[in-house]
Amino acid sequence: MKKTVFVLLLITLNSFAQSSFKKGYFITLDGTKVECFIKDENPYKIPEKFDYKINDSSQELSINSSQINALHIAPDVKYERHTVKTDLSSDNISELTTIRILNKEEVSLLLEVLVESESSLLQFSDNEVTRFFFKKNNKVIPFDYKKYKNESNGISENRNYQLQLKQNFFCANLDYNIDYKRKSFISFFVDYNVCKNKNFINLTDRKKNSKKPIFNIKGRLGTGLFSAENIVEQTNEAESYNSELVFKFGVEIEYIFALNNNKWAVFIDPSYQTNFSTQSKTIKGYKNLGFGGSGVGDIIVPIFDINETKFSNIEIPLGVRHYMYFNNNNALFINLGVNFDVPIESEITQTDSDTGDSTTYDMNSTFGFNFGLGYKVSEKITVDLNYFTPRRVKIEGKNIDDINVSNISLKIGYLIF
């Protein structure tokens, strides 16, 4: 049952997973401008295609990046197509040659704009290669770079781009011996524009800060279906109690990370839960009458013990959450974590039907796992269904068997702040 639910959950996740669509536009190779909402994947390379919608309720479409002349996702994603003469030799070690000189060829590339100014910084990146360019007086020029194998079969680099930086972007106190990396080029262009007192926009900085961490506190109210069973060691049989409703209320604390468009979060969701009434169960067992003294000739006769259960505890799920946004106010999310049960007034009373004697035992804390699926209904309201895996509750005392418990809960959350 647990495996089936988990597989269904993964299928649901795969079917509904989405990134958010943001307002933007793209221009095709023939100059047609299409105003639309574009899926913001926040990739680390130039996407092979872009998914978009004409409006919020329209069908999802896609266009290959090779068909795009320019693209803008508000407020901080820009791509431009340029014809450049550059070396696109692979950076993969297994494909390096011994040739240091660049083999430049004229190609048409869709480039990402990283820093926008009088002299802009652009980048091309795919699975094989990453190259940087600068745009000055509407002319796009590559920063020359190439990896190659040296005579010792080691790896060397043609770093002509450092000379280009000094020739084209000279300013006192700048360090031109930078690495051929995205972060290094962005930092250099920012420093250069500050040094020259020029206006500029660091699109990567705006992109990084366009999504901020979010701290949420939610009031939580819900109910659940609670199941329990005794495993009678003498008979090796499971004696199940009737499933019953439990009442839950509490507070959830959630921290949503800024990374990957606020898709990942951690949460803790402590809540008080109790069953509506005590429940009795007749448990079949055996009793040794002990007539033989030393055990020889003892007579074993069947008896029936009556167990009366009462559950009242603090349930503390702790885990990670992944959001799949449809828009800013609606999202599907999946929970995965661990669960701690701290008993407050959880006990089981055993009555010997033969003698009428009763003994009450306390239940210990338990540990288990939980996973679930939820939906963000609006900016303030969420609803989620969670399954808590079976776990064994240890009983204080030696005269009674342990109990296995599990539950499914449905909770509604309301954002307090």
**What is the C-alpha separation between 72 and 274, in angstroms, rounded?**
54
DSSP secondary structure string for all residues of 306-337: EEEEE-EEEEEEEEEEEEEESSSS-EEEEEEE
The backbone torsions φ and ψ at residue 237, rounded to the nearest 5 degrees and listed phi first, read: -115, 145
pLDDT at 147: 93
The domain ranges of the chain are: 15-210, 214-415
pLDDT at 32: 95
Q: What angle do CA 267, 409, 365 make, to 5 degrees?
A: 70
pTM, to two decimals: 0.54
CATH value of 214-415 in 2.40.50, 1.10.3470, 2.60.40, 2.40.160: 2.40.160
pLDDT at 7: 47
Taking 50 as the pLDDT cut, the residues of the chain under it are 1-18, 292-295, 297-304, 398-399
Cβ(255)–Cβ(272) below 8 Å: no
Q: What angle do CA 179, 185, 189 make, to 5 degrees?
A: 140
User: 9: helix, coil or strand?
Assistant: helix
DSSP secondary structure string for all residues of 345-356: S-EEEEEETTT-
pLDDT at 393: 67
